[in-house]
Amino acid sequence: MERDIKTRRITFRYPAGSMRRHYVQDDLAMSHVVSVLSAAFPEGEAFMIRSVRAVADQITDPELKKQVAGFIGQEATHSREHRELNQRLQEMGYPAAFIDRATRRGLEARTRYSSAKYCLAMTAALEHYTAILAETLLSDESTQQMLGQGEVRSMLLWHALEESEHRAVAFDVYAAVGGTHRMRVLVMLFTTFGFFALAACASFMSLVRDPDFYNPRIFFRSVARLFRSPFFSGEVFRRLMSYSRKDFHPEEVDNTALIEKWNTVLFGEQGQIADHLH
């Protein structure tokens, strides 16, 4: 499938004092979960770029080559922009630097000790997760409202748009280099277990540093809201599970209209963050 995957030159800024402690709708749990994900993104994106570059010389399809270039450009920009946010989160008391170091060590070890094809299968699995989360955010107004109106909202919407644009690239590269269905499914199982275990541990470690964690009323209400959010809906889990089908492909759910809408909303003539481009 032909798809224009642009590398946008964009910059976000988070001046000191511009963010509340619980910057995601003043919510304890969601603020910490988003912070943990943001802290892991820079090294996660670097791993994905390494994994695709490792087999880039095996790709012969000109259209896929073009998409790989766009994928690498977008992921490199995501990594840079999340580092900017993570610096502010660290100053606010979130353990972003520790999570960043731990993610780097884990993923560098994975690159060192696993085959190139395994790393590519892991990248395709992670891209499946990020695409579903991104499209859930872009499709659900209540989820967007949770992010408020600040710079974090703008950055996450931009990131979600680009994850939706390049959601099939790693999967197609994996198929192009002869990746098997068996490995794809097994790696997804291993990746799912590792991702959720590490995300839960990192979120708990982040939460225990927050005084509101020790207020049962605040904590339990916040956790209940988290699990009632669209990110834990039946539709999200159905899409996640579809990955195990032999005939699965990321483009089987059409997101063309969603991408067109958010390109206009964010970058059209009156785009919300058109002035962030340079």
For residue range 200-225, what is the model confidence (pLDDT) as tens digits?
999 999 999 999 999 999 999 999 99
pLDDT at 1: 64
For residue range 75-128, what is the model confidence (pLDDT) as tens digits?
999 999 999 999 999 999 999 999 999 999 999 999 999 999 999 999 999 999
First to last CA, the chain: 29
Question: Which tokens is 53 given?
Answer: 């570059």
SS3 10: strand
Distance CA(165)–CA(79), nearest Å, equals 17
Please return the burial class of 257, using the count of CB atoms within 10 Å of its CB with bins 0-12, 13-18 and 19+: exposed
Residue with tokens 């502010």: 88
CA-to-CA dists, residue 29 to 87, 126, 187, angstroms: 20, 22, 29
- In this structure, the dihedral spanned by the alpha carbons of residues 240, 244, 248 and 250, taken in order and rounded to 10 degrees, is 30
H or E element in which residue 229 lies: none
Give me the residues paired with residue 277 across strands. 10
pLDDT at 265: 95
| Cβ atoms 203, 32 nearer than 8 A | yes
**Averaged pLDDT in 10-residue chunks for the chain of 278 residues:** 87 87 92 96 97 95 95 97 96 96 96 96 97 94 83 95 97 97 97 91 96 96 92 92 96 95 94 92
DSSP string across 154-182: HHHHHHHHHHHHTTTHHHHHHHHTT--HH
pLDDT at 201: 95
| Cβ atoms 79, 20 nearer than 8 A | no
CA 240 from centroid of its chain's CA atoms = 14
CA-to-CA dists, residue 228 to 149, 202, 222, 224, angstroms: 22, 21, 10, 6
| Cβ atoms 89, 38 nearer than 8 A | yes
Percentage, residues of the chain above pLDDT 70: 100
pLDDT at 242: 96
Domain boundaries, the chain: 28-246
pLDDT at 2: 73
